[in-house]
Amino acid sequence: MTPSLPGGVERRDFDGTTAIATQGHPEYGEATDGQYRRWNPHRSKLGAMLALGMDTGLEADQKTLYLGAAAGTTVSHVADLGGPTYAVEFAPRPARDLLSVADHRPNIFPLLKDARKPESYAHVVEPVDVVVQDVATRGQARVAALNRRFLDGEGRLLAAVKARSEDVTADPEAVFEAVVAELRDHYELLDTEQLDPYHEDHLGVVARPLE
Amino acid sequence: MTDGWFAGLDPDDTTAAAERVASGRADAPEDWPATAVDAGYTADTEEYYERLRAATMEATEAAVTERERADDQQLVHAVRAMADCERTANELAERVAEWGGSRYGEAGSGVGYARRIAEGEVGDGGESGDRALRSLAERVVDVSEEADELRAYIERTAPAVAPNLSMLAGPVLAARLISLSGGLESLAKQPSGTVQLLGAEDALFAHLRGGAPSPKHGIIFTHEYVSGTRREERGSAARALAGKLSIAARIDHYSGDRRPDLQRELDERMERIRSRGGDGE
């Protein structure tokens, strides 16, 4: 079965293997085919969620708030889908790379902010269709809850939960269970799937905010 | 009623807009593009996004540049300058003590003795020899005070450059480790066994040539967790501390996140090391 992909994401042939791709300026040494560039699921958790066939509800031209933008690898693909893309990153070093990704894309708005303090960017970020969350910090469910305010009832949370960020020593399954339980206070979970073989001990989550 | 980043601004003033992006607040998002058009800040949504992009790019660029300026190389210069000042002050203080002993017969030593001469408590004579010695003693005090100021500067800036490493090691030891390995990046890339022996290179090579015992610690000996641990357990303590410091340096370099748990983990590990064997003291 071939799950449907969001508008703007296509399957293309790269050196004999089929992979998902978007159209845009290459950013991280990814394979290209004409205007298309490969969205490497090993480098991107959202890419892994798509490659694994999770129904993300992503569409072209959606407004997106991206938490944990890091150096902008995944952000660059999200921005290729065309909508305004608010990219929040807390650490200055990766933010330097994020700036150069944003240089090639007029729809990225980079913000050096702490995703645990949404009040420090709510004066800039408008309500969005999608919140993508990839923050390697303890309290990932809390970050999702705090940023619930940017989504209306139809919005989607696409989160990659990293077990080792919550507790390095605990069993990942137990960590996921605890995070999912906390998420359910604020979101209805539509789909969860572990992201291996692309990312070990990561859980992909698709959720819709509770009213 | 909260305001968007653009409220009350001159549309052509990108710098003011960037400052507002950096420092403004709101409890909840609103339809800012529509609000901005209504308020006459922009003609339409397209122009809104252009201005928003200019403001966020400038704000983020400025914030990143500011953090980079407080960077590890500045810290390296400062900690080396501090070491130079301390060494120079001590050397000159010895000279002052030797000279002072010959003139006043009183045997003092160190920067403290130089300070007493500089302030006229010792040998307050009016001869040209007194004046020359007092002038030299004043230089010793100046250089020593310069070292103190550099230390204060390091204590202020190290936590911004390497928050986790500074938390575990203290700002000055953190700066020394960064200085010894040449920068935060190279420190982050070193195995913890190397971090354990940074500053003990002479002893290490003496050991490798044969004969000398293997060194157990380098500059991290100045950490209370090594120097304050019983001699038999010091090797273990140094290894455990170096392991945590390596992790802290890696987090500081690669992510910049603060991990308060590291301190607790280190404390627990040290407690186990110190309580095993011996009499537990």
B174 alpha-carbon distance from chain centroid: 6
CA-to-CA separations, B163 to A118, B109, B219, B238, B260, in angstroms, rounded: 22, 38, 19, 21, 10
User: Which chain A positions have a beta carbon within 8 Å of B32's beta carbon?
Assistant: 123-126
User: Can you tell me the distance from the alpha carbon of B32 to that of B23, in angstroms, rounded to the nearest whole number?
Assistant: 17
CA dist., res. B93 & res. B109, Å (int) = 7
pLDDT digits (tens, 9 = 90+) for B129-139: 889 999 999 99
Which residue among B4, B29, B64 places its CB closest to the CB of A95? B64
Residues 6 or more apart in contact with residue A101 via CB below 8 angstroms: A27, A71, A72, A73, A75, A76, A79, A108
Q: Tell me, what's the pLDDT at B63?
A: 87
Best A66, A126, A140 member to test B by mutation, with max B CBs in 10 Å, is A126
Residue A77 is predicted with a pLDDT of: 96
Residue ranges in chain A whose pLDDT is less than 50? 1
Q: State pLDDT tens for residues B222-265.
A: 999 999 999 889 999 999 999 999 999 999 988 777 888 999 99
Judge: B24–A126 Cβ closer than 8 Å, yes or no: no
A187: helix, strand or coil: strand
Contact across the interface for B257 and A106, Cβ inside 8 Å = no
pLDDT of res. A3? 61
CB B202, CB B239: distance < 8 Å: no
The residue type of B29 is P
Query: Which among B236, B219, B220 has a CA at the least distance from the CA of B274?
Result: B236
Cα distance from A47 to chain B (closest Cα, Å)? 21
Minimal Cα distance from B66: which residue of A?
A92
Six-digit token string for B21: 């992006």
Nearest-by-Cβ selection for B57 from A84, A93, A110: A110
Would the CB atoms of B29 and A96 count as touching at under 8 Å?
no
Q: Least CB-CB distance to A123: which of B25, B33, B53?
A: B25
| CB-based contact A92 B68, cutoff 8 Å | yes
Q: Please answer yes or no on whether A119 and B253 come within 8 Å at the CB atom.
A: no
CATH code for the structural domain at B162-281: 1.10.246.90
For residue A15, the distance in angstroms to the closest alpha carbon of chain B comes to 32
- Token pair listed for A55: 């129904």
Q: Across chain B, what does the average pLDDT equal?
A: 91
Q: State yes or no: pLDDT of B280 exceeds 70.
A: no
Chain B residues within 8 A of A168 when measuring between CB atoms = none
C-alpha closest to that of A50 among A28, A27, A82, A18: A18
**pLDDT reported for residue B259:** 87
Global ipTM: 0.93
Amino acid at site B243: G
Could you state, in order of their start, the residue ranges of all structural domains in chain A? 41-209
- Report CB contact under 8 Å: B64, A99: yes
What pLDDT was estimated at residue B129?
Answer: 86
B87-129 residue pLDDT tens: 999 999 999 999 998 888 877 889 999 999 999 888 777 888 8
- A61 versus B278: which is more confidently predicted? A61
Helix (H) or strand (E) holding A142: helix A140-146
Q: DSSP letters along A15-69, please?
A: TTEEEEEEES---SS--EETTEEE--TTT-HHHHHHHTT------TT--EEEE--
The alpha-carbon gap from A10 to the nearest alpha carbon of chain B, in Å, equals 27
Nearest by CB to residue B256, choosing from A93, A128, A150, is A93
DSSP H helical segments within B9-127, as ranges? Answer: 14-23, 32-38, 45-69, 72-104, 110-118
Tokens of B41: 């800040």
> What proportion of chain B, given as a percentage, has pLDDT over 70?
96
Cβ neighbour number for residue A23 with a 10 Å cutoff: 15
Fold of A41-209: Rossmann fold (3.40.50)
Q: Chains A, B: CB contacts under 8 A, how many?
A: 91
> Could you tell me the CA-to-CA distances from A14 to A30, A39, B115 in Å, in that order?
10, 11, 75
Question: Which chain B residues are Cβ-neighbours of A84 within 8 angstroms?
Answer: 49
Residue B281 confidence (pLDDT): 41
Q: Which of B4, B31, B57 sits opposite A99 (nearest CB)?
A: B57
Q: Kindly tell me the burial class for residue A208, based on how many C-beta atoms sit within 10 Å of its own C-beta (0-12, 13-18, 19 or more).
A: middle
Chain A residue numbers touching B68 (CB-CB < 8 A): 92, 96
Preferred mutation among B53, B57, B61, B64 to probe A, highest tally of A CBs within 10 A: B64
Q: What's A186's DSSP letter?
A: T
- Chain A hits for B57, Cβ within 8 Å: 99, 102, 110
Residue type, B192: S
Q: What is the pLDDT of residues B36-78, one digit of tens each?
A: 999 999 999 999 999 999 999 999 999 888 776 667 888 999 9
Cβ-contact B226, B237 below 8 angstroms: yes
Cis omega before residue A197 (within 30°)? yes
